[in-house]
Amino acid sequence: MFALIVATVFSSAFGLVVRHAQLCRRNLWAVGAVNYVVASAFHVSRWLAMPEPHPLNTTLYLGILGGVVYSGSFLMLMPLMRARGVSVASSILRLSVIIPVGLSVVLWGEHPGPIQTVGAGVAMLSLPLLAYRPSAKTVNGLAPPRNWGAMALLATLFVGNGLCATVVRAFHQTQVPGQTSLFLGILFGTAALVTTAVWLAHRQGTRLADVAHGSALGACNAIGNLSLVAALGSLSGVIVFPFHSAVGLVIVALFARAVWREPLRRHELLGMGMALSATVLINAA
């Protein structure tokens, strides 16, 4: 359970660092590229320093696939944040947990205990409450016109981020001991190549300060994903992913309230209570 808590905290920190970088007007393309370079360097160094077994093709292929979907999701996140804001984008990232949860049941036949199942269900139910943001109104009381481009990005990001978690779950299913850092090093290395290429096309306004945010983001990515794989070693994906998303949203909401004075709505408070109840239920088994 400790690994799951660490993964959740660092996952929440990832979103908060992205938000802070946006508030500081950093070049987010540069921040993203540095993030993946740092995360890859961390795991490659860790793998080289440990007597891990010979790399398997499965580890290589899943790492490359993961790098493509991770970088793709991050690159979609940038225009979506500009169009809909960080809160909406972060909520979609969390709600996409339904994809790896469903696949954990269908493909890998996971069946947690009854109390843990209730806890996971409560966490899933809390997500819409935590993620919902009412639409802004115009001065005459009418809702603004739909931005179909942004809605398409929302749907694509939902699927893409769900696949990110699924790739991590699929790697754990291979049951190859000692190759976690190799897998993550390849994953983040592939993502670094993609995002660096995109940054080169958007490098205007890049400053040295971008490196600080990118490095902080990379540390969150490196430690958070390492802990997530470790959590899947002792808990099922049906439990890990709802907890990871629901409690992560609670952390982000509370931090935003304390630091950026963002208001907490009634449905968000109800969602927080449900997420905390889910935490108790999951730990009760």
Q: Any idea where the domains of the chain sit in the sequence?
A: 2-133+155-284
* Among the listed residues 153, 134, 162, the one whose alpha carbon sits nearest the alpha carbon of residue 237: 162
C-alpha 97: how far from its chain's center? 9
Look at residue 140 in the predicted model and tell me its pLDDT. Answer: 45
**The pLDDT value given to residue 141:** 46
Per-residue pLDDT of the chain (285 residues; tens, 9 = 90+): 889 999 999 988 988 898 889 889 999 999 999 999 999 999 999 998 887 667 788 899 999 999 999 999 888 887 776 665 565 666 677 777 778 888 888 888 887 778 877 877 887 787 677 666 665 554 444 444 555 565 677 778 778 888 999 999 999 888 677 889 999 999 999 999 999 999 999 888 899 999 999 999 999 999 999 999 999 988 888 888 888 887 887 788 788 778 877 777 787 778 777 777 876 676 655
Q: What is the pLDDT of residue 82?
A: 66
pLDDT attached to residue 263:
73
Contact between residue 211 and residue 34 where contact means Cβ atoms under 8 Å apart = yes
The pLDDT of residue 89 is 66
Q: Can you state the percent helix, strand and coil of the chain, rounding each to 5?
A: 80, 0, 20
| C-alpha span between 71 and 89 (Å, rounded) | 15
Q: Contact at 8 Å (CB) between 255 and 267?
A: no
CA atoms within 13 A on the CB side of 166: 21
User: What six digits make up the tokens of 234?
Assistant: 């002792």
SS3 97: coil
pLDDT given at position 86: 60
pTM, to two decimals: 0.82
Phi, then psi, of 128 in degrees rounded to 5: -60, -35
Per-residue confidence (pLDDT) for residue 181, from 0 to 100: 92
